[in-house]
Structure 1
Amino acid sequence: MIPEDLYYSEEHEWVRVDDDVATVGITDYAQEQLGDIVYVDLPQVGEKLEAGAVIGELESTKSVSDVFSPLSGEVVARNDSLDSGPEVINSDPYGEGWLLKVRPADEDPTESLLTPEAYGALVEQ
């Protein structure tokens, strides 16, 4: 199921914008493809992100995958609970499994992202 209140990147990250902060995570589709996530490497608070750039990695029992920034901005929070419990990404990718909170550099950070309908079409290919 693809939540209707989010925006998506082609690299399978999701974005939820609340006022001047965007929460970023990976989609249910992405966590399914990865399998059991055992380690998370994320940028620190204060780091600047560029849209499309590699910002970290997720390690699963199957492989290591890069995490791409779906938007440009500054990291204002990271989900430190993932350091000791990365498996929450598998069980709740749209809730407790969020990765970062970012203050977007662009006025409309969702402009270059996919709508839920467009993302649904991408993963059905």
Structure 2
Amino acid sequence: MAYPANYRYTREHEWIEVNGSAGTVGITDYAQNSLGDIVFVESPKVGDKVEKGKVFGSVESVKAVSDLFAPVSGTVTAINEELAGSPEKINTDAHTAWIMKIELSDPSEVDSLLSVEDYEKFIKEETGH
């Protein structure tokens, strides 16, 4: 699975695609693969504030419930309503099945996130291959 080069990544396996001061957030293919079949996504509400590194929701799979951590701070501008009825869309294509969109409060926070090369290296270190 190729990870999009224009995304930035967290060590908790979230991705963000940034366009100016707007960001789209989801979980990586590695995360969905580790979780297995996703059965429920708990999202924040539009207007909620999220803080970099803090929990903003969770993903429930047949194996476990996993917290979602905000890659940057900001205000939620949209949530992916499709996931309420079809959470398995994340399993099908994790890199287009976004969870929330946010207005970044500090776009420079993106600089501390992993590039695609650093993320792929991190996965190799974590998995041993």
Q: CA separation in 1, counterparts of 2:76 and 2:46?
A: 5
- Give the equivalent residue in structure 1 for 2:41: 40
- Give the equivalent residue in structure 1 for 2:76: 75
**Equivalent position amino acid for 2:59 in 1:** L
Q: Do structure 1's residue 64 and structure 2's residue 65 form an aligned pair? A: yes
Q: Any idea what the Cα deviations from partners look like across 1:81-110, whole Å, max 9, x if unmatched? A: 100000000001111x10000000103231
SS at structure 2 position matched to 1:109: helix
**Equivalent position amino acid for 1:89 in 2:** I
**Equivalent position amino acid for 1:52 in 2:** G
Instruction: Give the % identical residues.
Output: 46
Deviation at 1:69, TM superposition (A): 0.5
Number of residue pairs aligned between Structure 1 and Structure 2: 124
Q: Do structure 1's residue 55 and structure 2's residue 60 form an aligned pair? A: no
Deviation at 1:3, TM superposition (A): 1.4
Q: Any idea what the Cα deviations from partners look like across 1:23-54, whole Å, max 9, x if unmatched? A: 00000000000000000101000000100001
Calculate the aligned-residue CA RMSD, in Å.
0.8
Deviation at 1:19, TM superposition (A): 2.5
SS at structure 2 position matched to 1:111: helix
User: Which one has a larger percent helix, Structure 1 or Structure 2?
Assistant: 2
- Give the equivalent residue in structure 1 for 2:89: 88
* Structure 1: tracts of 5 or more residues without a match: none
- Give the equivalent residue in structure 2 for 1:103: 103
Q: CA separation in 2, counterparts of 1:76 and 1:52?
A: 18
Work out whether residues 50 and 74 of structure 2, in 8 Å CA contact, stay in contact via their aligned partners in 1: yes
Q: Give the TM-score normalised by the residue count of structure 2.
A: 0.93
* Structure 2: tracts of 5 or more residues without a match: none
Runs of 4+ off more than 2 Å? none
Deviation at 1:21, TM superposition (A): 0.9
Q: CA separation in 2, counterparts of 1:107 and 1:93?
A: 23
**Equivalent position amino acid for 2:99 in 1:** L
SS at structure 2 position matched to 1:59: strand
